Amino acid sequence: MSWREALAPVRMRRIAVAAPQDALGDVLALVADAGCVDLDGAAGIEECADHAVIRDGVAVVAGWTPAQAVDALSLTLATAGGAVVPLPHPPGAEAPSLLRGQGLRGSVNPLVETYGTVPYADVDPAPPAALAYVLMFGMMFGDAGHGLMLLAVAAMLHAGWPARLTRFRGAWPFVAGAGLASILFGLLYGEFFGPTGLVPVLWLDPMSHPASLLLLALSVGALLLGGAYLLGGVNRWREGGLPLALYSPAGIAGGATFIGMGVAAGGWYLAETWLTAAGLVTAVTGLGLILTGFLAEGGGLTQAVIRSADVVIRIGANVASFARLAAFGLTHAAIGWIVWKATLGLWPTAPAFAALVFTAGTLLAFALEALVAAVQALRLEYYELFSRIFQAEGRPFRPLRIPLPAKEAPRCPFRHGEGSSPSARLFS
């Protein structure tokens, strides 16, 4: 598989399933058992048969299947007299979208699928989205001890214990990633179940340097937004070519405006006139492209100017929104500090009660802050990043799927397990 294919949804092939009219039911039963063909306008075998085109005793039904499943599907259908006929891609038709679910990627796909279906032409953002999520989570949940607890949770999920959590087993790599990020930032902050002193401060103490933490949060936000604009520009190009990519607020024009504003702000802070001027020129150029694009959509000059001004305001608001990385990171450190100080205060006179306070406080802080960090990281992912990466929604791959007893039909090598989502299917 080439790197281009690895960065995109599973490549689909337009096909026709052909069979003798009297054998159509048996062939469609094999298609349904294989579970790797999205047939046009069909939710069941009978409905699919009703949509079949019949000529000279041959029934044909069109649909989509992963390109790598064509050969295996052909062998499967041949046992009942059916055949798979590759067709050209219909002009203007969008293929259904299926994210790759092989290996660790299957555990992070729900992060994207919960937001929406990736358009078939777009880049699959699941891997970078997962990395961005665990990075933001770790900044807000920076405690090496709590990170080790998350790793323990990941190990439990992987082992399928307790049984009631078995359905979440596929999420263990995601939880483990969040735990590793929390350990990393915990070491940077010098936090191990609070400021216990068991690990040194490798970078800064959040309670002592909140301004530095805020600067880090805004810098990380700017980098993530820059990456979102980059992916957005690539997607706009793949969706509509250069014109759409050039004039879109979520493409080259929006990225230029964002970069220009950032460079101008940096030049002003550093008192570098030339840097400020270069940033302003870049921002004005990008804003001009955005205005031109809005004018081309219609609605008049006034509406285009208002929409362009809104783009500028939203860029500033989106960058400022990443301040929550510092705010909740500081809150997490403050809760750990309170629990630890309470423990130290009680230890000389009531060590048993102090241990109880430390245990209960740690568990409460872990549960509460893990929930808060998870929700806030998801909020930043969806509202600030995905809103730039996606401008449209694709059509999900929904194959005809009715499993048959093993003795009745050969299995397609590309089928997936019952109960799995399309993205969990193991297409390489």
Find residue 85's DSSP bridge partners. 16
Of the two residues 104 and 362, the one the predictor is more confident about is 362
Reported as a single tens digit per residue, the pLDDT across 313-332 is 999 999 999 999 999 999 99
- What is the C-alpha to C-alpha distance for residues 36 and 101, in angstroms, rounded to an integer? 14
- What is the C-alpha to C-alpha distance for residues 290 and 41, in angstroms, rounded to an integer? 39
Find residue 86's DSSP bridge partners. 15
Q: Is the peptide bond before 195 cis (omega within 30 degrees of 0)?
A: no
- Min mean pLDDT across 33-42, 129-138, 192-201, 378-387 is at 33-42
Q: Residue 273: helix, strand or coil by DSSP?
A: helix
Q: Residue 235: helix, strand or coil by DSSP?
A: helix
Would you say residue 405 has pLDDT above 80?
A: no
Kindly state the helix (H) or strand (E) to which residue 301 belongs, with its residue range.
Answer: helix 300-321
pLDDT, average across residues 231-239: 95
What is the number of helices (H) and of strands (E) in the chain? 15, 5
Reported as a single tens digit per residue, the pLDDT across 360-382 is 999 999 999 999 999 999 999 99
DSSP 137-203: HHHHT--HHHHHHHHHHHHHHHHT-SGGGGGGGGGHHHHHHHHHHHHHHHHHHT-SSSS-SSS--SS
Give the residue among 392, 221, 384, 249 at the shortest CA–CA distance from 309: 249
Q: Could you give the percent of the chain with pLDDT greater than 90?
A: 74
Reported as a single tens digit per residue, the pLDDT across 10-27 is 999 999 999 998 998 899
Token representation of residue 203: 């970078």
Would you say residue 409 has pLDDT above 80?
A: no
Q: Residue 396: helix, strand or coil by DSSP?
A: strand
Q: CA-CA distances (angstroms) from residue 135 to 189, 223, 385?
A: 15, 12, 14
Give the residue among 16, 133, 134, 120 at the shortest CA–CA distance from 77: 16
- What is the C-alpha to C-alpha distance for residues 337 and 380, in angstroms, rounded to an integer? 26
Question: Which amino acid is present at 297?
Answer: E
Find residue 18's DSSP bridge partners. 60, 83
Reported as a single tens digit per residue, the pLDDT across 149-192 is 999 999 999 888 888 888 888 889 989 999 999 999 999 999 99
Question: Which amino acid is present at 172?
Answer: W
b/e sequence 102-136, b meaning 16+ C-beta within 10 Å: eeebbbbbbbbbebebbbbbbbbbbbbbbebbbbb
* Contact assessment for residue 247 and residue 290, using Cβ atoms and an 8 Å cutoff: yes
Would you say residue 423 has pLDDT above 50?
A: no
Q: Could you give the percent of the chain with pLDDT greater than 70?
A: 93
**How high is the mean pLDDT of the chain?**
89
Question: Which amino acid is present at 281?
Answer: V
Give the residue among 157, 76, 173, 113 at the shortest CA–CA distance from 381: 113
Token representation of residue 26: 């048996």
Give the residue among 67, 325, 336 at the shortest CA–CA distance from 215: 325
pLDDT band at 415 (very low <50, low <70, confident <90, very high): very low
- Min mean pLDDT across 112-121, 164-173, 279-288 is at 164-173
pLDDT, average across residues 189-214: 94
Reported as a single tens digit per residue, the pLDDT across 349-358 is 999 999 999 9
pLDDT of residue 416: 41
- What is the C-alpha to C-alpha distance for residues 323 and 408, in angstroms, rounded to an integer? 59
Kindly state the helix (H) or strand (E) to which residue 47 belongs, with its residue range.
Answer: helix 45-50
Sign, CA dihedral 50-20-14-11, equals: positive
Would you say residue 385 has pLDDT above 80?
A: yes
Would you say residue 347 has pLDDT above 60?
A: yes
pLDDT of residue 407: 44
pLDDT band at 272 (very low <50, low <70, confident <90, very high): very high
Q: CA-CA distances (angstroms) from residue 73 to 23, 48, 239, 317?
A: 16, 17, 30, 51
Would you say residue 428 has pLDDT above 50?
A: no
pLDDT of residue 106: 78
